[in-house]
Amino acid sequence: MHSDHYFEIGSTHTVCQDYALSGSKDGLTWAIVSDGCSSSKDTDVGARILTHIAKDTLLGMLSRGRFSDSRFMEDGGMESEFYDMVLDRASNVRTSMRLEYDAFDATLLTAFALRTPERNYIDWRVLAIGDGTVLVKFKEPQEHFSCIHMSYDSNAPYYLSYKMHPDKDAGYQALFKDGRHLMIRQTFHGPEGIKETQWDNEPCREYSYVIDNIGCAFDEPPLQIVLFSDGLDSYQANDSSPAFDNDGLMRRVTGYKSLAGEFVQRRMKAFRKECEKTGVKHYDDVSCAAITLID
């Protein structure tokens, strides 16, 4: 399996509040993206801390053999334990660094895959809290993909940091008690064209969205899993209109010619040059991290 990541500051920002991380160790491969809230202080720090804590939490679960427990993986215990550990560690870091709670107002999208040699099987999962986009590519028999776009109807995501302090959590729920739902739009790009479904999801649950091999309609693991922050929606032409349609954009930013080395960075840097030639800019920070499960 391969992994790589990339992040880039937006044209209207002075500090990049997005961060991404990827890597592999002992059969586990991960990709993580975090997008700090632009109106909160020090979220560039919080986003970086959260991604590293998420990575270390996955490695800790691996070393304790948690991923080998099929019941633990299938009944929701994995998601709850993961977020509990991330929150606990983030709280300790916040205290030791004397950061405000707002510094952790950031999304957290985490994808991981674990190859099990004895079963010749790949467990994979995406855990998402906050907004962003998850792309899952398949190859059966020709390449197609499912794009899961997560957004909030008033553009104010529910952050994991709200569970770090009861007043923050209560404040969010009280402010939006009449409805600030997480909207999930899934577009399937296949041989027969594009099919779209959309539904609401309760944003104040333990996690916002999970996709994995258990709930997937395909027997084989996906070709790739790619995570994006919501900055992917901020590409604009000179007249401030959207520069790309969804299908064209996703194919441009994930059209990897090679999986060797820094494949995500090469594609995103090439895409940036393409945009510069045509006057296209993204006003928000953009981050991306990817896992390739099948060569």
Digit-coded pLDDT (tens) for 157-200: 888 898 898 888 888 877 776 655 677 787 777 667 777 777 67
Determine the pLDDT at residue 247: 78
Indicate the SS3 state at residue 280: coil
Q: What CATH number corresponds to the domain at position 66?
A: 3.60.40.10
* Residue 206 pLDDT grade (very low, low, confident, very high; cuts 50, 70, 90): low
Residues 186, 113, 223, 132: is their CA dihedral positive or negative? positive
Angstrom distance (rounded) from CA 34 to CA 42:
13
Determine the pLDDT at residue 111: 94
Angle of helix 77-97 relative to helix 43-63, nearest 10 degrees, comes to: 130
Task: Please tell me the total count of domains within the chain.
Answer: 1
Interval 52-110: pLDDT, tens: 999 999 999 999 888 877 777 776 788 888 999 999 999 999 999 999 999 999 999 99
Tell me the residue range of the domain where 258 lies: 2-292
Listed in sequence order, the residues at least 6 apart from 60 whose beta carbon sits closer than 8 Å to its beta carbon are: 85
Determine the pLDDT at residue 215: 44
Flag whether pLDDT at 205 surpasses 90: no
Determine the pLDDT at residue 104: 95
